[in-house]
Chains A and B, each alone.
Chain A
Amino acid sequence: MNTIRNYLDNMFLGLPQTEDVTRAKKELLAMMEDKYNELKDSGKTENEAIGIVISEFGNLDELGDTLGIKQVIKNKNDVPIISYEEAKNYIEDSKSTAPKTALGVLLCIISPITMLILIGLREFNFVNVKEDLLIAAGLVVLIILVATGVSYFIKFSSKLEKYDDLKVNLFELDYETEQMVRNVQKQNEQTYKSAVSISVVCYILSALPIIITPLISEVEGLSVLSVAITLIIVALSTYNIINKSSSNEACNVLLQEGDYSVKNKSNKAFQTVSKVYWCVIVAVYLGYSFITNNWAMSWIIWPVAGVLFGAIKAILDVQS
């Protein structure tokens, strides 16, 4: 019966909630419910009953005139319908590109690591080279890693580019497709949830090396090395989370839930703000780090920016 209710909710999605519309929905539901109950009583299975009820429901177009919402229904019908194949391809492509995108992010996060290790080892006099030279060497590695990482983004995000419309524009799924997507989401739910919790625990633990090292030893080299360890933990957690959340993300996009809800999509301000926001953060990170050379600390901008983004989103949600 829930399936039928969802189906009807979907049909009425986006229609103005006038008294006539609400009454129509209520009565149609009552008729469908009666039919469903009787089919069940006559020995039909749940799925058969749902199938018959939905196939005999008819077309909302017929109600346009009587409910005085002909124009709204016409506009609603202009919304494209995503086919079963398209939805399936999108999920597959998201899944197959996720490990590579995740690798790109991982490379970017660990990019300062060579520099940190070299500087750390120099404090222990393992490496007996001028500091300037070490920084230069570290920078070369950093640039190579970032470049590789970014090239991964570009290569694999262009693969998903054709689906960008799904994230910003409204569309509809037919009943069968929606069921398929919900199944995929359900199958991946456990993997996704455990990946998120493992990664969150790791993020928290990643602060430990930085906190503990000064307690054990005063040697400055050690604290620089501890930052390297922290970065590795953060990088691996992020890799894990991006990789494991890809199909869940794709399902959210297709079901227009979470970040991609109909409400968010109509909130163009939010979309613009988020684009500008992340560009500014990247610029600040690179600018600050290159000018001050404080790579050991500057990475902290990422978690801070992430939390701040949540706050901005909440404010924009309230305003809309």
Chain B
Amino acid sequence: MISSDVIRGYNDTMILYLVLNGPSYGYEISKRIRELTNEKYVMKETTLYSAFKRMESNGYIEAFSGSETNGKPRTYYRITNEGKKYYKEKCEEWEITQEVIEKFILKENDHEYN
């Protein structure tokens, strides 16, 4: 599992990605993160919830109550236009971050690596 320190700055990005195509709720989001990352990253419940609250107060997402066809009542989250904008920014930021860090990472077939 990855250290959560490294990934913290991109928790919001992951969550926003998962509500991009329609509302979702707490457990579904945490489950999809686990599945998409092949269980390499598990977001703790408290991390997820504090991200919800932070993004809600920043106006990136909105909470509303609803329920699945036969399920129990749940708090759902949907992305706002503000949130979509922020998501795009984060994606661009990541491209650059990745490009920058990449320069400093040794690859196994590099001759300096031994």
Given contacts A30-B74, A32-B45, contact A62 B30 (CB under 8 A): no
- CB of B27 within 8 A of chain A? yes
- CB of A27 within 8 A of chain B? yes
- A66 and B30 alpha carbons, distance in the complex (Å): 19
- CB of A281 within 8 A of chain B? no
- A65 and B49 alpha carbons, distance in the complex (Å): 12
- A59 B27 Cβ-Cβ under 8 A: no
- CB of B107 within 8 A of chain A? no
- B42 A27 Cβ-Cβ under 8 A: no
- A196 and B54 alpha carbons, distance in the complex (Å): 54
- Convert A177-201 into 0s and 1s, putting 1 for each residue whose CB lies closer than 8 angstroms to a CB of B: 0000000000000000000000000
- B46 A57 Cβ-Cβ under 8 A: yes
Question: Closest chain A residue to B56 by CB distance?
Answer: A66
- CB of B48 within 8 A of chain A? yes
- A27 B44 Cβ-Cβ under 8 A: no
- A72 and B48 alpha carbons, distance in the complex (Å): 21
Question: Closest chain A residue to B34 by CB distance?
Answer: A56
Q: Which residues of A contact B57 (CB under 8 A)?
A: 66
Given contacts A38-B31, A56-B45, A57-B44, contact A27 B50 (CB under 8 A): no
- A28 B45 Cβ-Cβ under 8 A: yes
CB distance from A231 to the nearest CB of B (A): 60
- A58 B44 Cβ-Cβ under 8 A: yes
- A138 and B46 alpha carbons, distance in the complex (Å): 70
Of A24, A59, A62, A65, the most chain B CB neighbours within 10 A belong to A62
- A62 B54 Cβ-Cβ under 8 A: no
- A272 and B27 alpha carbons, distance in the complex (Å): 49
- A30 and B72 alpha carbons, distance in the complex (Å): 10
B47 contact from A27, A34, A62, Cβ within 8 A: A62
- Convert A37-62 into 0s and 1s, putting 1 for each residue whose CB lies closer than 8 angstroms to a CB of B: 01000000000000000001111101
Q: How large is the interface on A (under 10, 10 to 19, 20 to 34, 35 or more residues)?
A: 10 to 19
- CB of A269 within 8 A of chain B? no
Question: Closest chain A residue to B28 by CB distance?
Answer: A34
Given contacts A27-B75, A30-B75, contact A62 B46 (CB under 8 A): yes
Which residues of B (52-71) have their CB < 8 Å from a CB of A? 52-54, 57
- A56 and B26 alpha carbons, distance in the complex (Å): 14
B46 contact from A30, A35, A38, A60, Cβ within 8 A: A60
- B44 A34 Cβ-Cβ under 8 A: no
Q: Which residues of A contact B26 (CB under 8 A)?
A: 27, 30-31, 34
- CB of A67 within 8 A of chain B? yes
CB distance from A37 to the nearest CB of B (A): 9
- B49 A28 Cβ-Cβ under 8 A: yes
Q: Which residues of A contact B74 (CB under 8 A)?
A: 30
- B50 A59 Cβ-Cβ under 8 A: no
- B50 A35 Cβ-Cβ under 8 A: no
- CB of A308 within 8 A of chain B? no
Given contacts A35-B30, A66-B53, contact A59 B48 (CB under 8 A): no
CB distance from A26 to the nearest CB of B (A): 8
Q: Which residues of B contact A56 (CB under 8 A)?
A: 42, 44-45
Given contacts A34-B27, A35-B27, A38-B31, contact A58 B45 (CB under 8 A): yes
Which 5 pairs, one residue from A and one from B, show the smallest C-beta to C-beta distance?
A58-B44, A58-B46, A34-B27, A66-B53, A31-B26
Offer 7 A-B interface pairs, CB within 8 angstroms, sorted by A. Answer: A27-B26, A30-B75, A32-B45, A34-B26, A38-B27, A65-B50, A66-B50
* Interface of A toward B, CB cutoff 8 Å: 24, 27-28, 30-32, 34-35, 38, 56-60, 62-63, 65-67
Other 10 A-B pairs with CB < 8 A, given A27-B26, A30-B74, A66-B49: A28-B45, A30-B26, A31-B30, A34-B27, A38-B31, A56-B44, A57-B44, A58-B45, A63-B46, A63-B50
